[in-house]
Structure 1
């Protein structure tokens, strides 16, 4: 290996393995920023799209899948959370893209979509393209399932991962995406850009001198977008309505600042279950609005269903068909109140039909809270969104924890967008710049001196 080859091998560049399409070939219903992202992702061949809720990730991935299937003549499989598959198929109908909800390999067409849980029913090497919808779901799966998804599609030529903007300090999620796309394994990413904080934290910390290089590397295979205006686009309507968070102390006293153990918090939730559920039922029953009520315990779900008029309960033990139908009925505005857990319905669904949200208590997961809120508080929502958090006085510390995590997450995401904005913009322009093809029409006449040589 020469010195030049050695230097070249150290460059953190991600080679494009895809193909280029002209903007005129893309679905005319796409916004300009969506067209540029689709073209960029097609050119990359293997890419991730980190875009906030309501920016049209479903439409982007459907058009990407359509172009891959057309270019290769092969099949593309989309993996999605429960109920999102049927929702995405409806989106396809709206925009003239044929996508089939399938349960097994024999049902597949050019573009097929299924739930993550049904992955074992498919033959991965029969697809030329794979899309992970709500791809952050990888980190909530067991390591075995995560590794299974990565290994199954290791040699798939075209890959796309779509999810909301991840938390910048969730390096495991970023590493999972990198490994799925074949850019760099998670362990390689950690060793190159991070140091391990020993002691009590046991977390990875980005090396100070590697920060700009890390985000430049990320933006070479990821498109970060929280608002089209951040990247210079002029599309209108991408302003979020007001988010109003209301705290209700169900037992009527001030929340305590005392820190509780996990078992103590669980017991506190059970002790206050009746009063919290009654408070939630009073809000819903005395209103004509549509409501989503999030709970964390099975007993909460059962109690709420018995107290709230015309409510539909969706439990983990319910059949997949019932879960899907109930959540789609809610999306259509056919239900006044849906009761479920964030772990069941908190990912990927579009519920702008609802702007009244209740949490009957809180878990320690900020991401579960954030995703559940964003089902309703997303681009396309036309009303202010009211979020009611109903807790007992002993659970006050949990609310404080969620609030602190929210502020930290907002600051870090803003910094991440600022760091990657120009890089992402340059990536999209570099890959998607439209040039007029040169068509020579006049024969060149060589000079006499050239003919004499």
Structure 2
């Protein structure tokens, strides 16, 4: 066997486990690119949709689940972040798709059901014909036990769909988790086939040079990457992000230190400046008539902000789920002027285009947490400029520059990934289902006399 043939033999493609459906049979309220993605995912049966914030993952996953119910019957479960269930049910009403919110297995009905990830243990996985993971990257925020429980419990579920924002292309663990959940290939198999482990100081996995093309072809056989429908050849207006204004405020007014600090030193600096940073944030909110989303990192920050900010509602980890959900939905409905919480609590899933002002009183070292938090408001569908205020002390260093550098690196990597996969993705979307012309006879057929 030639070496080239050997490499090609490693180019595994995802099998199709679903069914064909004509485009005109899908929900007419979907855009063309959304219909094509739904058709593709239905044909695959088990697929991932990596679509940026505001591209309509919710209506796409609802239509996917709805068509499976029409085709197969049975029960379908959507797992979603906290408070997203009600938001999804509202979206279902808009698209005329019934969605049943469940607390446990006894609440489940035929058709589409939805619950929170936290309630997974109250459901029997083998009673569902389909499973949808909404904001599936949230699995990284859970313990390995919960992630493994989802993968194992739904291993034999016939239809699977995972939906999340476009991941960073070097986050191979996240991509491997998705592959394993869908039953395409285990994370260990993916790493051994396409990657080598850098045993040096970085200690990271990197793509084998000769396997790069095969890897992205394999990825595109079971997942769709889309940051903007226009990049895949769809001519659709309205998919432009508004201007993002990032403002860094040094609360104590002193020159920013250029000294590199350890994680412990930065956290100590945040604790020392807690009162002054919270007061600056409170002054910004209290002197404005607009709504604000205030993100914090420490429990003491959350408590202090709630005390200082007029008409604010605090959502903390120890709160009951009902309070968390009610507060988030009230903020969506403009019933709350200011919501104070952490990215780990409300940074996934919620659509808050009604708000354009965010304050970060404390930042963790996770760029993903920061990115997910700003995308709650800075997303397709937002028609106003979005203002971000990062409030720090002088001892914390150049936080804004570090965030912007990480953002530039992430955007560069995502653009490279989209460039690598857009041709393959376009081809996949176009060839997934048969293109047929409906037979409409207009001339009556006459049987020849010699046959009669």
Same fold, judged at TM 0.5 (above): yes
**SS at structure 2 position matched to 1:263:** helix
Q: Which residue of 1 aligns with 2:408?
A: 407
Q: Which residue of 2 aligns with 1:326?
A: 327
Q: Which residue of 2 aligns with 1:44?
A: 44
Find the aligned partners of 1:281 and 1:444 in 2 and give their Cα distance: 84
TM-score scaled by length of structure 1: 0.95
**SS at structure 2 position matched to 1:18:** coil
- In structure 2, the gaps of 5 or more residues are 1-5
Find the aligned partners of 1:398 and 1:173 in 2 and give their Cα distance: 26
The question of whether the paired residues in 1 share the 8 Å contact of 2:11 and 2:218 is answered with: no
Deviation at residue 439 of structure 1 after TM alignment: 7.2
Find the aligned partners of 1:445 and 1:216 in 2 and give their Cα distance: 51
1:81 and 2:78 matched: no
* Residues 163-195 of structure 1, C-alpha deviations (whole Å, 9 max, x = no match): 000011100000000000000100111111111
**SS at structure 1 position matched to 2:206:** strand
Find the aligned partners of 2:63 and 2:355 in 1 and give their Cα distance: 28
Q: Which runs of structure 2 are paired with 1:247-326 in the superposition (5 Å)?
A: 247-326=248-327
* Residues 297-340 of structure 1, C-alpha deviations (whole Å, 9 max, x = no match): 00000000010100011011111001000000001111110000
Deviation at residue 442 of structure 1 after TM alignment: 8.3
**SS at structure 1 position matched to 2:264:** helix
Find the aligned partners of 2:396 and 2:433 in 1 and give their Cα distance: 51
Find the aligned partners of 1:150 and 1:398 in 2 and give their Cα distance: 37
Deviation at residue 145 of structure 1 after TM alignment: 0.8
Find the aligned partners of 1:355 and 1:252 in 2 and give their Cα distance: 26
The question of whether the paired residues in 2 share the 8 Å contact of 1:364 and 1:402 is answered with: no
- In structure 1, the gaps of 5 or more residues are 1-5
Find the aligned partners of 1:257 and 1:415 in 2 and give their Cα distance: 32
Q: Which residue of 2 aligns with 1:160?
A: 161
Q: Which residue of 1 aligns with 2:115?
A: 114
**SS at structure 2 position matched to 1:98:** coil
Q: Which residue of 2 aligns with 1:16?
A: 16
Deviation at residue 399 of structure 1 after TM alignment: 3.7
Find the aligned partners of 2:75 and 2:225 in 1 and give their Cα distance: 27
The question of whether the paired residues in 2 share the 8 Å contact of 1:81 and 1:347 is answered with: yes
Deviation at residue 140 of structure 1 after TM alignment: 1.6
**SS at structure 1 position matched to 2:265:** helix
The question of whether the paired residues in 1 share the 8 Å contact of 2:27 and 2:63 is answered with: yes
Q: Which residue of 2 aligns with 1:65?
A: 65
Find the aligned partners of 2:358 and 2:9 in 1 and give their Cα distance: 52
TM-score scaled by length of structure 2: 0.95
**SS at structure 1 position matched to 2:162:** strand
1:346 and 2:367 matched: no
**SS at structure 1 position matched to 2:50:** strand
Deviation at residue 254 of structure 1 after TM alignment: 2.2
Find the aligned partners of 1:227 and 1:7 in 2 and give their Cα distance: 32
The question of whether the paired residues in 1 share the 8 Å contact of 2:298 and 2:362 is answered with: no
Deviation at residue 341 of structure 1 after TM alignment: 0.2
Q: Which residue of 2 aligns with 1:3?
A: none
The question of whether the paired residues in 1 share the 8 Å contact of 2:11 and 2:214 is answered with: no
Q: Which residue of 1 aligns with 2:30?
A: 30
Q: Which residue of 2 aligns with 1:359?
A: 360
Q: Which residue of 1 aligns with 2:3?
A: none
**SS at structure 2 position matched to 1:93:** helix
Find the aligned partners of 1:156 and 1:76 in 2 and give their Cα distance: 10
Q: Which moved more, 1:37-46 or 1:203-212?
A: 203-212
**SS at structure 1 position matched to 2:432:** helix
Q: Which moved more, 1:395-404 or 1:226-235?
A: 395-404
**SS at structure 1 position matched to 2:140:** helix
Find the aligned partners of 1:273 and 1:187 in 2 and give their Cα distance: 43
Q: Which residue of 1 aligns with 2:430?
A: 429
* Residues 401-451 of structure 1, C-alpha deviations (whole Å, 9 max, x = no match): 3222111101000111111111100000001453215578887999x9xx9
Distance 1:22 1:308, change over 3 A: same
Find the aligned partners of 1:368 and 1:431 in 2 and give their Cα distance: 35
The question of whether the paired residues in 1 share the 8 Å contact of 2:85 and 2:115 is answered with: yes
The question of whether the paired residues in 1 share the 8 Å contact of 2:131 and 2:161 is answered with: yes
Report the RMSD for the aligned CA atoms in angstroms.
Answer: 2.0
